[in-house]
């Protein structure tokens, strides 16, 4: 069995002692690229020993769109629709990271209202993204109705975004210098009402799924990433926090106006299971939803009428230099490395550091020794979006 990447002999499964004596031949099984549990088009080559996974190799590239190379032939505004398509479930956060990188080089001042609206949209997007993660994770584990409940709430956010930007997923809303359109008072009132219902809904979800015995049995103590694993692979976001590390860029290296806000960084505390398992990673997301609601409420208090768009030259030309911007996105730290040659309308190089790519590379670490059904739970719990992995 030759793999494209030679990563040595697969580790022997450790759970079942009987299989070691049997010397059974490993069976190669393709999970994906159209597997419903892979959240996109990820193909995982699994070497199985009966029901136990001996080795897993993720194969990438089914959604590769050559976005980084494309960006070198586009003007700085034209890159934004492409950045949207990185993580199509959290497009606002993607846009914001790229735009912040350009603004840092350009030295643009964003009006206070524009910056607050960016925080609000980013947090709303985080809730929408976590709802999607919650719904599809329950779907992976065989529960269908939580998916529909999650989409009911997500729909409210998407409707608000559609009204304010014009699109439901790929917004092109956060522009260099500010945001495209302002929110009306009526829309802000709906955001406030949404926060109230979402808090109630989150309690319902916890009752329905998080504390459900069947769900806990499927996820607790499954797919454990130790903190050392996370450091070795460079995990970020809910995966790192689920393993017990209190690290959030919004708190540890505050960008934008996040230093003004009062919120907690939820970490995996092993209410059930153990720190770093699927259940704790999942539960960190549910706790983050509550924190995002807290931030949105504070934004709504702070919002004052004003302009949402700063002064930006009509043709954007960046000075020679480079910048690395990282933001806390729903799935982890997204990094944008932008290099400019100076006196050019196009970026010289745009490199995207994707959190999902890092997390996908961690799959072979936890796969050996797991049952196939547990492996599905592990893939779901790291919540990858393949648009961001392949770019």
What does the binding site for another protein look like in residue numbers (CB under 8 A)? Answer: 15, 74-75, 77-82, 84, 145, 152, 155, 159, 162-167, 170, 172, 181, 204, 207-209, 211-214, 221
Q: Give the shortest CB-215-to-another protein separation in angstroms.
A: 9
Contact in structure between 342 and 318 (CB atoms under 8 Å): yes
Q: Give the shortest CB-88-to-another protein separation in angstroms.
A: 12
Contact in structure between 124 and 160 (CB atoms under 8 Å): yes
**Rounded to whole angstroms, how far apart are CA atoms 304 and 306?**
6
Q: Give the shortest CB-124-to-another protein separation in angstroms.
A: 16
Supply angle C-alpha 351, 331, 152, rounded to 5: 130
Choice between 73 and 259, CB closer to another protein:
73
> Which residues, 6 or more positions from 49, have their beta carbon under 8 angstroms from its beta carbon?
13, 16, 19, 24, 26, 27
Choice between 3 and 206, CB closer to another protein:
206
Choice between 208 and 303, CB closer to another protein:
208
Choice between 81 and 111, CB closer to another protein:
81
Nearest Cα residue to 138 out of 63, 62, 215:
215
Task: Estimate the share of the chain in helix, then strand, then coil, as percent rounded to the nearest 5.
Answer: 50, 15, 40
**Rounded to whole angstroms, how far apart are CA atoms 336 and 110?**
19
Q: Give the shortest CB-15-to-another protein separation in angstroms.
A: 7
Q: Give the shortest CB-1-to-another protein separation in angstroms.
A: 28
Choice between 185 and 304, CB closer to another protein:
185
Choice between 85 and 353, CB closer to another protein:
85
Q: Give the shortest CB-120-to-another protein separation in angstroms.
A: 18
> What phi, psi does 93 have (nearest 5°)?
-65, -35
Dmax over CA atoms of the chain, in Å, equals 73
């Amino acid at each position: 069995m030759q793999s494209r990447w030679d990563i040595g002999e697969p580790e022997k499964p450790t759970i079942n002692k009987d299989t070691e004596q049997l010397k059974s031949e490993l069976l190669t099984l393709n999970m994906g690229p159209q597997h419903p549990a892979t959240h996109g088009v990820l193909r995982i080559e699994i070497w199985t020993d009966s029901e136990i996974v001996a080795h897993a190799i993720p194969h990438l590239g089914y959604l590769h769109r050559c976005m980084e190379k494309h960006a070198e032939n586009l003007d700085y505004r034209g890159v934004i629709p492409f950045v949207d398509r990185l993580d199509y479930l959290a497009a606002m956060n993607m846009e914001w990271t790229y735009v912040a990188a350009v603004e840092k080089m350009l030295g643009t001042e964003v009006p206070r209202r524009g910056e607050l609206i960016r925080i609000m949209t980013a947090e709303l997007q985080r809730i929408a993204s976590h709802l999607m993660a919650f719904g599809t994770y329950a779907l992976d584990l065989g529960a269908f109705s939580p998916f529909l409940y999650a989409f009911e709430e997500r729909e409210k956010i998407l409707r608000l975004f559609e009204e304010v930007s014009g699109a439901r997923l790929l917004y092109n809303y956060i522009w260099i210098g500010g945001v495209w359109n302002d929110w009306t008072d009526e829309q802000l009132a709906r955001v406030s009402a949404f926060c109230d219902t979402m808090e109630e809904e989150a309690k319902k979800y916890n009752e329905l799924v998080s504390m459900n015995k069947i769900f806990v049995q499927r996820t607790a103590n499954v797919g454990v990433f130790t903190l050392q694993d996370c450091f070795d692979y460079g995990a970020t976001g809910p995966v790192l926090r689920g393993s017990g590390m209190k690290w959030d860029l919004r708190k540890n290296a505050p960008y934008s106006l996040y230093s003004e806000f009062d919120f907690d960084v939820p970490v995996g505390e092993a209410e059930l299971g153990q720190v770093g398992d699927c259940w704790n990673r999942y539960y960190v997301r549910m706790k983050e939803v509550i924190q995002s609601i807290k931030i949105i409420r504070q934004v709504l208090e702070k919002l004052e009428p004003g302009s949402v768009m700063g002064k930006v030259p009509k043709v954007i030309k960046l000075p020679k230099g480079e910048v690395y911007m990282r933001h806390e996105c729903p799935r982890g730290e997204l990094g944008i490395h932008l290099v400019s040659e100076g006196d050019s309308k196009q970026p010289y190089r745009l490199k995207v550091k994707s959190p999902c790519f890092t997390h996908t590379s961690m799959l072979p670490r936890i796969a050996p020794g797991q049952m196939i059904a547990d492996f599905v739970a592990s893939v779901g719990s790291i919540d990858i979006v393949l648009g961001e992995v392949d770019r």
